Chains A and B, each alone.
Chain A
Amino acid sequence: MVDMIQRFKALLAILALVLVAAMPARADDLKPLVDGLGKNGYAALREAIGALAATGDPAVAPVLQALGAGDLYVRKSDRAVFAATKADGGFALKDPLTGADAGTAGSRDVEKIRVNNAVREAVTSALGSLTLMSADPAKRRAAAADVFRNSDPAQIPLIDQAISKETDAGIATTLQMARAAAVLKSDAPDAEKVAAIAALQAKGGRDVLAQLTAIEASAPDGAVKAAAQTAITSIQGTLKLWDGAQNILYGISLGSVLLLAAIGLAITFGVMGVINMAHGEMVMIGAYTTFVVQELIRNNMPWLFDWSLAISLPLAFLVAGLVGVLIERMVIRYLYGRPLETLLATWGVSLILQQAVRTWFGPNNREVGNPSWMSGAFELGNLTITYNRMWIVVFALVVFATLMLVLKRTPFGLQTRAVTQNRPMASSMGIRTPWVDALTFGLGSGIAGIAGVALSQIDNVSPNLGQGYIIDSFMVVVFGGVGNLWGTLVGAFTLGIANKFLEPYAGAVLGKILVLVFIILFIQKRPRGLFALKGRAVEA
């Protein structure tokens, strides 16, 4: 609430500024200052620039820009200053403040205002300070960041001025930091510098670290150097924590992808003991469904584009689920109790599906767009989180929760669990196991399909899409323990995070290899996974 009010206030202030700037009366006040630029001599010119900058009025920025570009001229007759462009052997004159037409002049009637390097520097500095005063907070923020990076001691007075006027708390902090950084480079007394280091240390972050490292290297031995050293150690420690957090975040993101890919597999493998090597292709089919939906929308109803994923989800579920049921009915049901054969047959199915998609859509990557709410990123502390990754994490958890509900709370789920635990018993209790099998397989495949919708947002949509996921998915299911969805959840996130933690030390490929080796060793230790079903029935 407080935040809202403050934002509203800021908005009002900006509005007011804009109105004031646009008022002609204001332009009249500035006019003499602008004309001051026409005085002879570089010293006078610099003085006039200073006077203009001192107004802090963004309206003078175009004037200074024109001056820097060498576009300002003085009319000899009244020493008035204009922005002039060459036209028909003479010049077209414009008011430098408002840009309004001010007639024409012969080439002899006007005189160019010359600038030397000292003047140019004055112009740049003045422009910088003016951007700091800009009415647009985004511009001010960028300018403040610039000032911080440059940390020029000469700008300290200007920064002070900006701080005093700044209404946005965030920008003010950046300015404070910029000031502290500038102080460190100035010849201010040590005490002030140590205070500045403390201020910087409080902010932390990579930029500060870079600045402090430079200071530490150049400072003579003494209080400043010592303070800088402590600050550096402290910031590095903090950064390590943030890095850890970022890795966890990446790991969660990867884990959610693994979860999406593996969860359908966990059902078919867990419930039916069937290794479906075509599972990855169900993911691919989901991704291609998204592609087709987006193509249709793009060509026919572009305004629906932001809804394309929502439309794709049920379609992908249906298409992949249907393909799954077909595979179950046509191939897998003849192979129950022969898991190794099932593995081979479904591998064959996966080859056929891949080639079918390749023939149909071509072998190249297809473009699947991100709707607006899926693109971009936001910052959380020192962490950068992209929207698509975030939504996929959310989505994966929602899918997981929904699936849990379906399995725990619906008659279908009850039957599925019954079949998982004791197929002959379930069958003799009147559960139509073939029907449950087909639907379970359809469900697992359908979930793979909606995983494909999500993955189309972060991966290349190509006929090989599924192959990249199949081994990882199996690792997740096997690691987590077959027949246990919670195991899949834990397995996915554990492996995701482990992968991302290993990456900085071992590199992406080696990290992956290490994880694979780890799982291979893990299976030796616990052949039935983390959360295995135990008991006599399983052994038999």
Chain B
Amino acid sequence: MVTNFLLRALDRRTAIVLIAILGVGILLPVLNLATDPSSPFHVPTYVLTLLGKYLTYALLALAVDLVWGFCGILSLGHAAFFALGGYAMGMYLMRQIGDRGTYGNPLLPDFMVFLNWKELPWFWTGFDHFWFAAILVLLVPGILAFVFGWFAFRSRVTGVYLSIITQAMTYALLLAFFRNDMGFGGNNGLTDFKEILGFDIQADTTRGALFFASALALAAGFWICRAVIASKFGKVLVAVRDAESRTRFIGYRVEGYKLLVWTLSAMMAGVAGALYVPQIGIINPGEFAPANSIEAVIWVAVGGRGTLIGPIVGALLVSFGKTWFTSGMLAEYWLFVLGGLFVLVTLFLPKGVVGTFLARDRKKPAEKPIEDVVAPGAVGQAAE
């Protein structure tokens, strides 16, 4: 059932995008490892890491777009899911340090020794195992999203109200994770990682592998989103976005749809966070900042919401712009640019770069919605 669900979404365009993402995922690490540093084709490790970070951002943007672009839920709290996934991974990486920390304590991470803790808190149990952390990377954001969504969607909190309480959610988590007694490293967060799955986290090969993993996750995320959107479920989502009460009156229980897509999206954001942390080497409460969530939204807006390529393009463009600006003399002006981007995109480019481009591309025939790639009625498939 699931295979079929995925396969029927694999049209030509989707396949091209998937191949492109995976191609980059393989090509860049190879160029990094196999070429001489003096070669013009060499990709320095720092560039690889930087681009790896962008890929995780792109996955986060995809997650935001899935709920915002297709279901009309503007989340100002997706950074929370991203950060929770990141913390789950960070806890695993913390346990891998073992007794190589500054204090050399074989049992406790440095910050716990520093806080005079005597034993590992219960919620750190199991994080010695990668598989456990990997499951929690999905489960923690998923469960939070499910509980939050269950309350919010059932009582029909919509529009700006929903946006604001998602923001309050991430804000509350931000405050909570700043506390030392939460047991997540407080202000400093989790850092000084040494190994992942037994490999040196600083080694070029590990970096390459992480980059590929990020590309793989992005490709998988894209494919899943595509399949969701192409299904009847996806059509219901768009219906909810456009006319929620109409959807109810033809018999769809809207809250169930929202809850499912919201939870899926949160889990995607969690995976993105989990891949982000080993590449950046640190996770701290700052990742929960409301500003981060809103920045993810602007990636989607710039790229084009309601398309699946848009958020990827947007995340890459804006992040690249940020790196370029903040590393040069213009660092001070980055916020002007970012702020201006918010204003200009909403005023003049509501469909985003990709959306506008696609709309122009398809103006002539039939004026179809951009997300609607599957043939109406799916006549072809029914034939089997």
**A contacting B, Cβ–Cβ less than 8 Å:** yes
Question: Which residues from chain A contact B290 at a C-beta distance below 8 Å?
Answer: 471
A517 to B168, CA, bound (A): 8
Known A344-B346, A471-B290, A527-B156; contact A520-B335, beta-carbon cutoff 8 A: no
A340 to B294, CA, bound (A): 12
A350 contacts the other chain (Cβ, under 8 Å)? yes
A355 contacts the other chain (Cβ, under 8 Å)? yes
Of the listed stretches B5-13, B159-167, B193-201, chain A binds: B159-167
Query: Are A343 and B339 closer than 8 Å at their CB atoms?
Result: no
A351 contacts the other chain (Cβ, under 8 Å)? yes
A349 contacts the other chain (Cβ, under 8 Å)? yes
Distance in angstroms from B343 CB to nearest chain A CB is 4
A478 to B336, CA, bound (A): 30
- Residue among A343, A519, A524 making CB contact with B152, cutoff 8 Å: A524
A512 to B175, CA, bound (A): 8
Query: Are B157 and A527 closer than 8 Å at their CB atoms?
Result: yes
Of the listed stretches A5-13, A169-177, A212-220, A331-339, chain B binds: A331-339
Secondary structure of the B side of the interface? helix
A519 to B159, CA, bound (A): 17
Query: Are A478 and B159 closer than 8 Å at their CB atoms?
Result: no
A475 contacts the other chain (Cβ, under 8 Å)? yes
Question: Which residues from chain A contact B74 at a C-beta distance below 8 Å?
Answer: 340, 343
- Nearest A residue to B72 by beta-carbon distance? A340
Query: Are A524 and B157 closer than 8 Å at their CB atoms?
Result: yes
B151 contacts the other chain (Cβ, under 8 Å)? yes
Known A344-B342, A345-B342, A513-B172; contact A527-B164, beta-carbon cutoff 8 A: no
Mark out the residues of chain A between 472 and 499 whose CB falls within 8 Å of any chain B CB in the assembled complex. Answer: 474-475, 478
B211 contacts the other chain (Cβ, under 8 Å)? no
Query: Are A471 and B168 closer than 8 Å at their CB atoms?
Result: yes
A343 to B151, CA, bound (A): 23
Query: Are A331 and B347 closer than 8 Å at their CB atoms?
Result: yes
A280 to B338, CA, bound (A): 18
B286 contacts the other chain (Cβ, under 8 Å)? no
A53 to B342, CA, bound (A): 79
Query: Are B336 and A352 closer than 8 Å at their CB atoms?
Result: yes
B113 contacts the other chain (Cβ, under 8 Å)? no
- Residue among A345, A356, A510, A519 making CB contact with B347, cutoff 8 Å: A345
Mark out the residues of chain A between 219 and 259 whose CB falls within 8 Å of any chain B CB in the assembled complex. Answer: none
- Nearest A residue to B343 by beta-carbon distance? A348
Query: Are B172 and A517 closer than 8 Å at their CB atoms?
Result: yes
Question: Which residues from chain B contact A510 at a C-beta distance below 8 Å?
Answer: 176, 179
Query: Are A523 and B172 closer than 8 Å at their CB atoms?
Result: no
Query: Are B298 and A344 closer than 8 Å at their CB atoms?
Result: yes
Query: Are A347 and B179 closer than 8 Å at their CB atoms?
Result: no
Query: Are A335 and B346 closer than 8 Å at their CB atoms?
Result: yes
A48 contacts the other chain (Cβ, under 8 Å)? no
Known A345-B342, A524-B154, A527-B155; contact A509-B175, beta-carbon cutoff 8 A: yes
Known A339-B160, A355-B332; contact A520-B339, beta-carbon cutoff 8 A: no
Query: Are A354 and B164 closer than 8 Å at their CB atoms?
Result: no
Question: Which residues from chain A contact B315 at a C-beta distance below 8 Å?
Answer: none
Secondary structure of the A side of the interface? helix
Known A347-B294, A516-B168; contact A355-B335, beta-carbon cutoff 8 A: yes
- Residue among B148, B165, B339 making CB contact with A352, cutoff 8 Å: B339
B178 contacts the other chain (Cβ, under 8 Å)? yes
A267 to B328, CA, bound (A): 41
A331 to B344, CA, bound (A): 9
Distance in angstroms from B317 CB to nearest chain A CB is 16
Interface centre among A344, A345, A356 (most CB of B within 10 A): A344
- Residue among A339, A342, A351, A525 making CB contact with B338, cutoff 8 Å: A351
Distance in angstroms from B249 CB to nearest chain A CB is 14
Query: Are B160 and A520 closer than 8 Å at their CB atoms?
Result: no
Question: Which residues from chain B contact A523 at a C-beta distance below 8 Å?
Answer: 152, 155, 157, 161, 165
- Nearest B residue to A475 by beta-carbon distance? B168
Distance in angstroms from A341 CB to nearest chain B CB is 4
A275 contacts the other chain (Cβ, under 8 Å)? yes
Query: Are A335 and B168 closer than 8 Å at their CB atoms?
Result: no
A176 to B301, CA, bound (A): 74
A40 contacts the other chain (Cβ, under 8 Å)? no
Question: Which residues from chain B contact A475 at a C-beta distance below 8 Å?
Answer: 164, 168
Known A349-B343, A352-B335, A513-B176; contact A520-B168, beta-carbon cutoff 8 A: yes
Query: Are B341 and A348 closer than 8 Å at their CB atoms?
Result: yes
Distance in angstroms from B164 CB to nearest chain A CB is 5
B297 contacts the other chain (Cβ, under 8 Å)? yes
A164 contacts the other chain (Cβ, under 8 Å)? no
- Nearest A residue to B167 by beta-carbon distance? A471
A340 to B160, CA, bound (A): 6
B106 contacts the other chain (Cβ, under 8 Å)? no
Question: Which residues from chain A contact B301 at a C-beta distance below 8 Å?
Answer: 344
- Residue among A343, A351, A478, A520 making CB contact with B169, cutoff 8 Å: A520
Q: Count of A residues near B, CB < 8 Å?
A: 40
A359 contacts the other chain (Cβ, under 8 Å)? yes
Question: Which residues from chain B contact A527 at a C-beta distance below 8 Å?
Answer: 155-157, 161
A521 contacts the other chain (Cβ, under 8 Å)? yes
- Nearest A residue to B289 by beta-carbon distance? A467
- Nearest B residue to A520 by beta-carbon distance? B165
Question: Which residues from chain B contact A352 at a C-beta distance below 8 Å?
Answer: 335-336, 339-340, 343
Mask of B170-187 contacts with A, CB within 8 angstroms, 1/0: 011001101100000000
- Nearest A residue to B178 by beta-carbon distance? A509
Question: Which residues from chain B contact A341 at a C-beta distance below 8 Å?
Answer: 346, 350
Question: Which residues from chain A contact B154 at a C-beta distance below 8 Å?
Answer: 524
Query: Are A524 and B155 closer than 8 Å at their CB atoms?
Result: yes
Question: Which residues from chain B contact A348 at a C-beta distance below 8 Å?
Answer: 298, 338-343, 346
Question: Which residues from chain B contact A350 at a C-beta distance below 8 Å?
Answer: 339
Interface centre among B148, B151, B160 (most CB of A within 10 A): B160
Query: Are B163 and A343 closer than 8 Å at their CB atoms?
Result: yes
Known A339-B159, A517-B172, A524-B154; contact A275-B164, beta-carbon cutoff 8 A: yes
A474 to B161, CA, bound (A): 9
Query: Are B161 and A478 closer than 8 Å at their CB atoms?
Result: yes
Question: Which residues from chain B contact A349 at a C-beta distance below 8 Å?
Answer: 339, 342-343
- Nearest A residue to B294 by beta-carbon distance? A347
Distance in angstroms from A496 CB to nearest chain B CB is 17
Query: Are B175 and A331 closer than 8 Å at their CB atoms?
Result: no
Question: Which residues from chain A contact B340 at a C-beta distance below 8 Å?
Answer: 348, 352
Question: Which residues from chain A contact B332 at a C-beta distance below 8 Å?
Answer: 355, 358-359
Query: Are A335 and B336 closer than 8 Å at their CB atoms?
Result: no
- Nearest A residue to B341 by beta-carbon distance? A348
Mark out the residues of chain B between 111 and 143 whose CB falls within 8 Å of any chain A CB in the assembled complex. Answer: none
A352 to B341, CA, bound (A): 10
Question: Which residues from chain B contact A275 at a C-beta distance below 8 Å?
Answer: 160, 163-164
Distance in angstroms from B202 CB to nearest chain A CB is 33
Question: Which residues from chain A contact B298 at a C-beta distance below 8 Å?
Answer: 344, 348
- Nearest A residue to B344 by beta-carbon distance? A348
A356 to B337, CA, bound (A): 12
Beyond A339-B159, A344-B294, A519-B168, 17 extra complex contacts between A and B, CB < 8 Å? A275-B163, A341-B346, A341-B350, A347-B342, A348-B338, A348-B346, A353-B339, A509-B179, A510-B176, A512-B172, A513-B175, A517-B172, A521-B151, A523-B157, A525-B155, A527-B155, A527-B156
Residues of B participating in the A interface, judged by any CB pair closer than 8 Å: 74, 148, 151-152, 154-157, 159-161, 163-165, 167-169, 171-172, 175-176, 178-179, 290, 294, 297-298, 301, 332-333, 335-336, 338-343, 345-347, 350
**What are 29 A-B contacts with C-beta separation under 8 Å?**
A275-B163, A335-B347, A339-B159, A340-B159, A341-B350, A344-B297, A344-B346, A345-B342, A348-B342, A348-B343, A349-B342, A352-B343, A355-B336, A355-B339, A358-B332, A358-B335, A359-B332, A471-B171, A475-B164, A475-B168, A509-B178, A512-B172, A513-B176, A516-B168, A516-B169, A516-B171, A516-B172, A521-B151, A523-B161
Residues of A participating in the B interface, judged by any CB pair closer than 8 Å: 275, 331, 334-335, 339-345, 347-356, 358-359, 471, 474-475, 478, 509-510, 512-513, 516-517, 519-521, 523-525, 527
Ranked nearest first, the 9 interchain pairs of A and B with the lowest CB-CB distance are: A348-B342, A351-B339, A352-B339, A355-B335, A524-B155, A348-B339, A516-B172, A345-B346, A348-B343
